[in-house]
Structure 1
Amino acid sequence: MTNESSIRRSGSQQSDLRHAGAQRPAGTTLPAWLCETEHYRPLADRSSFIEHNLEHLGDVLAQIGDALPVSHSPLDRALAAVSPSLRIVGVLAVIVCVNLTRNMLFSYVMLAVALVALAVRPARLIAAILKPTLAVCAISLIVALPSVFVGQTSAPVRLVVRAFVAVSLVIALARTVPWNRLIGGLRGLGVPDSLVYVCDVTIQFIDILGRSMMQLLDALRLRSVGRDTRKLKSAGRLMGVLFLRANTQARHMAEAMVCRGFDGRYHVRRERWLTWPNAAYALGVTAMIAMAVYLG
């Protein structure tokens, strides 16, 4: 009985619908305003804030923790056998000697060495080193130019040469040595675990938060249709969202490290110091220091 009643009810509903359709006038059409075609052409607008930040973040993320291949460079293949700790000491010694010596002959000698080391590297690595180095040199030149008006005509040259030597060596070290080996090199020099932890986590967070920022900028660009005069005001909101994400990510990362047994200490494998590559590199650094002391 239940099935028969449901069948009768559905049949009566269908007949009511057919009856309602029969009562509707045959000539009924849609309103005119629904039939009109609309062409929406948003006004042209510049999004330089978004595009420039996306491009810059993409370049930075491509360089963070990504050592370039050194198989095509005979110099870097030879330096790869040197202990990272010794290489860090050598670069620091060069920077200190270049900035402490008053005789510009030593700076010019180190500039020649840096240029020769740059010339024997592949084109991709040369471009990766030269771009930030020349940018720092340009800033140094602008800063030192006012000294020309007070009679210090050689100050801009000294500052630019020293900046080129120091920055090119640091960037070459960072781009040719993987980040985990640099962390191990810092720990091998006796750097405190807290400082090593800060350096390690900073590099990782630059990559993570940089990708989050790119996602936020992409979302802002997709939602910015037409002319938007309040686009720059979204920068503060982006920073706020990024701060919240950084806080959440830091908490999750700390919990994950604790769960994996991290006790605040870095345990790195001890590398052999008494090797021929290390001895040759140490001899070169010693000769450089002796030259700096002799030239004064």
Structure 2
Amino acid sequence: MKEKEQFNVNNKQPHRDIPMWLLQNDDYLPQKDRERYLSKTLLGILGRLIHFRQQMQIQTESFFSVTFKLIYVFLLIFSIALAHTITFLLLLLAGLLAYICLLDGRQILSLLKPAIGAMVFTFIIIVPAIFLQGTIVMLLPFKVFLSTLLVAALSRSTPFYLITKALGGLHVPSVFIMSLDLTINYIVLLGNTAIDLLQALKLRSVGRNTGKYESMGNVLGMTFLKSQEYAKQTHAAMLCRGFTGEYHVVQQHHWQKKYIIYTMAIMLLLVLFIHIEGY
């Protein structure tokens, strides 16, 4: 026993003191830096993605079918483009305002924001034409406002997948439907990729980062490379599944009483437009 105790005592490691630099407190105060541009970019992308996700939660049960909505909106936009008096435009504005009054504040803002933005942009472009052709050109911003408001209302009340399905039922070229469908899907995919990259950049930017704008360029470049990777994967998936670029929409049309109301609404619009415009 004595030999074992002596052996253990001899094999003890010598005591080492902790270095002084480990005992000192690190009073590191990073310099403040502006991250408004980075935060606004993140919020902007998140807002667009939330809009696309809310599209999937739209209630699809409605008296008016998606096909009728598309046809009626197309006729309204076409009549707006052909209108040369303000009377028909004011009647259409009254109908849209009556529809908007049934919505809540957030939905009203989502409709009016793009419409007002498009109207202001159009007004800025045609300002020089006011001095040449008078006030008649002022109808153009008003027409743009009404057209954008109609499209925004259609987008708010109808999911995108039902719109593409209705376009297929109307025998719209498959190339257009495929481009629209892929564009919407890639906006969501690339938006998620950009959010992950921007969040990583924001977390790693401790203190003042002088190369932040260069890093933003790297984020754009990485997003572009991801888009190429997604495109190759989509092309390979299409080849494996034998996709020929054609959308086959199976729709069973049965006569219903509401089709009479659809026809009457379209005829009323045409008669009202011809009577007011004098065609």
**Alignment TM-score > 0.5, same fold:** yes
Q: Distance in 2 between matches of 1:273 and 1:293?
A: 31
Name whichever of 124-133 and 174-183 sits farther off: 124-133
Q: Distance in 1 between matches of 2:115 and 2:169?
A: 28
Matched, 1:82 2:64: yes
Q: Distance in 2 between matches of 1:108 and 1:67?
A: 30
Q: Distance in 2 between matches of 1:104 and 1:271?
A: 41
**Residue equivalent to 2:75:** 93
Name whichever of 132-141 and 194-203 sits farther off: 132-141
How much does 1:177 deviate? 1.0
**Residue equivalent to 1:155:** 137
Q: Could you tell me which of 33, 40, 43 is aligned with 1:55?
A: 43
Q: Distance in 1 between matches of 2:57 and 2:101?
A: 16
Do the aligned partners of residues 33 and 121 (structure 1) sit closer, same or farther apart at CA in structure 2, a change above 3 Å counting? Answer: closer
Do the aligned partners of residues 136 and 57 (structure 1) sit closer, same or farther apart at CA in structure 2, a change above 3 Å counting? Answer: same
**Residue equivalent to 2:108:** 126
Q: Distance in 1 between matches of 2:198 and 2:150?
A: 34
Do the aligned partners of residues 151 and 261 (structure 1) sit closer, same or farther apart at CA in structure 2, a change above 3 Å counting? Answer: closer
SS in 2 for 1:66: helix
Name whichever of 174-183 and 262-271 sits farther off: 262-271
SS in 2 for 1:94: helix
Name whichever of 252-261 and 214-223 sits farther off: 252-261
Structure 2 residue identity aligned to 1:191: V
How large is the RMSD of aligned CA atoms in angstroms? 2.6
How much does 1:41 deviate? 1.0
Matched, 1:230 2:218: no
How much does 1:150 deviate? 4.3
Give the alignment of 1:265-284 within 5 angstroms.
265-272=246-253, 274-284=255-265
Give the alignment of 1:12-51 within 5 angstroms.
17-18=11-12, 21=14, 29-51=17-39
How much does 1:261 deviate? 5.0
Task: Say how many residue pairs are matched.
Answer: 272
Q: Which runs of 5+ in 1 are unaligned?
A: 1-10
Q: Could you tell me which of 153, 172, 178 is aligned with 1:191?
A: 172
How much does 1:171 deviate? 1.0
Identical counterparts, % of pairs? 27
The C-alpha deviation readout for 1:153-204, integer Å capped at 9, x for no partner, is: 3533x23321221111111111211111111111111111121111111111
How much does 1:139 deviate? 2.0
**Residue equivalent to 1:216:** 197
Kept after mapping to 2: 8 A contact 1:66/1:179: no
How much does 1:293 deviate? 2.7
Kept after mapping to 1: 8 A contact 2:119/2:145: yes
The C-alpha deviation readout for 1:231-286, integer Å capped at 9, x for no partner, is: 11122211211111111122223333444453322122214274333332332223
Q: Distance in 2 between matches of 1:15 and 1:268?
A: 86
SS in 2 for 1:232: helix
Q: Distance in 1 between matches of 2:241 and 2:105?
A: 41
Q: Distance in 2 between matches of 1:187 and 1:85?
A: 10
Q: Which runs of 5+ in 2 are unaligned?
A: 1-5
Q: Distance in 1 between matches of 2:53 and 2:252?
A: 21
Kept after mapping to 2: 8 A contact 1:95/1:166: yes
Question: If you compute each CA radius of gyration, which structure gives the higher value, 1 or 2?
Answer: 1
Q: Distance in 2 between matches of 1:285 and 1:118?
A: 21
Matched, 1:103 2:85: yes
